[in-house]
Structures are given as C-alpha cells and as structure tokens.
Amino acid sequence: MKALKLTSFILALILSVGLVSCNKNSKDNKETGAKETNTTVNNEAPPSEDEPEEEEKINELLNPATTLPAGSRYHSRGALSGIIASEDGKTEFPVTANGDEFYYTDYKYTYTDGAMFDGVAGWTVTVADDKKSETILTAVLESINGDPVVSVNACFKDCVNLQYAPAIPESVVTMTHAFYGCAALTAAPVIPESVKHIDGAFYGCLSMKGEVEINATPETFADCFYATGYELTLKGACENKADLAATGVEGMIKY
C-alpha cells in the first residue's frame, strides 16, 4: 500500500513539474540575473570583501529595526490596524502583536505569540504566492524588529521549480514540510542546531542528492526523507542519523 502511495505521489510530482516547465525556460536567465546576490546559490562566486552578502545586509537592516524598509508592507492586527506601505523606508515599525503580517522580498512573515511553537514567540515565514514558481529565492530573515524567525513550516511547499534552498536561520525551531514536494531541489540546506521538528521536510524532493548537514537532533522527524530520488549522506552533529535515514527508501540514505 505504501509503495502504491509513493508511486502515485511521484507521478503527481512529475506531472506538476511538466505543467509549469513550459514557462520556466524563458524566465531562467532573467531570474538568475535578478537574484544573483542570493547567498545560497551553489557554485556562486564569493562576494567581495567590500560588499557584504545580501543576507547580512538584510538582517543588519531588520535585526533590530525602528523603521520598515522601503518596499515592504506591514499588516498590524494590534492597536494599529490596517496595512502600512513603506516606500521611503521612514515608516516606524508598530508594536508587534499576535497575527501581524510583514511582506518583504519573496516572503510573507506572520508573528505568533508562541502557542504554536513550543512556547517560542517569533515569526513564521512562507513564500509569497506570486513567487512559488521561481527557481531561486532571496534569503530568509533571521529576525524582524528584534523578534526571531522561529518557523519555516511548509515555507517552500510545492515550489516545484525551486532548485536552490535558501539558508535556514539559526533561530528556527520547526521546519515541518519545509520543502515538501520541491521536485527540482538539487541540494538540502544546512539544518541548524536549533531545529526540533523536521517531519516531512524533504518529502518528495526527487532531485536532491549529495550530503545533508544536520546539526540538530530533532525530536520529531516522520517521513523526513520520504520519496527522495537519489542517494543521500547525512553529516553533521545530529545524534539520531539512523532514525532519520530510516524515513527514506531503504539503503538510499547513508550516515
């Protein structure tokens, strides 16, 4: 029964990739040029010492910050309601409240008071709807207005064209289904020590291969590597590699 489920899932992924691939080729060169500063693209030339990496520049701007960066939007559900558009970078951040939404670069961030994530308050992040067909995405923020990004749950789910995984911030606690269904993803990001939940994180990542550095010892990890297509080798400080390997096809995940 599980084999039938796996076969059906893989066929569905192949069909979904086929449907979107017709629009992909014409966009690739444009996308690569527009996002060449993404710090997680494999084989990219190192940045100049005089020019900080894009991820560092963004986090320096927002960690902490007193004003919204130009081009961002903030939807406050606290005392100050409504959407605040910041075109000039001079609009002050409102006091953060549960359910607040922050839109910046390729992502939507939502603030949680901690009830959902082991009591840890902070921001959860997902790819914006109009960016889900991209092959490359910008860096994920580590902190916004002094509060950490704690969840990438389902952040990149079903981004079937995504080839390069943005770095996972060291503040992240949970990444359940983070890259679920990312059939074109070529390599996994480093999993930081802070991560406790990794269930289904790479479910259906048919193109992923090589080493996976996991520095966390996650508490939950069901189906983490289910329906991956190539041999993988688990590295890093993780203490339950054998359990993680058992979530994939038998014999395909080494450690």
pLDDT of residue 81: 75
Residue 41 pLDDT class (50, 70, 90 cuts): very low
Asked if residues 147 and 64 have their Cβ atoms less than 8 Å apart, the reply is no
d(CA 233, CA 108): 32
pLDDT of residue 209: 96
d(CA 132, CA 53): 24
Tell me the pLDDT of the chain averaged across its residues: 81
What one-character DSSP code corresponds to residue 236? S
pLDDT at 248 over 50: yes
30-34, 88-92, 111-115, 236-240, range with greatest mean pLDDT: 236-240
Q: What is the SS3 assignment for 168?
A: coil
Condensed to tens digits (0 to 9), the pLDDT of residues 217-242 reads: 999 999 999 999 999 999 999 999 99
d(CA 89, CA 107): 18
> Computed from CA positions of residues 94, 98, 100, 101, in that sequence, does the dihedral angle turn out positive or negative?
positive
d(CA 201, CA 248): 12
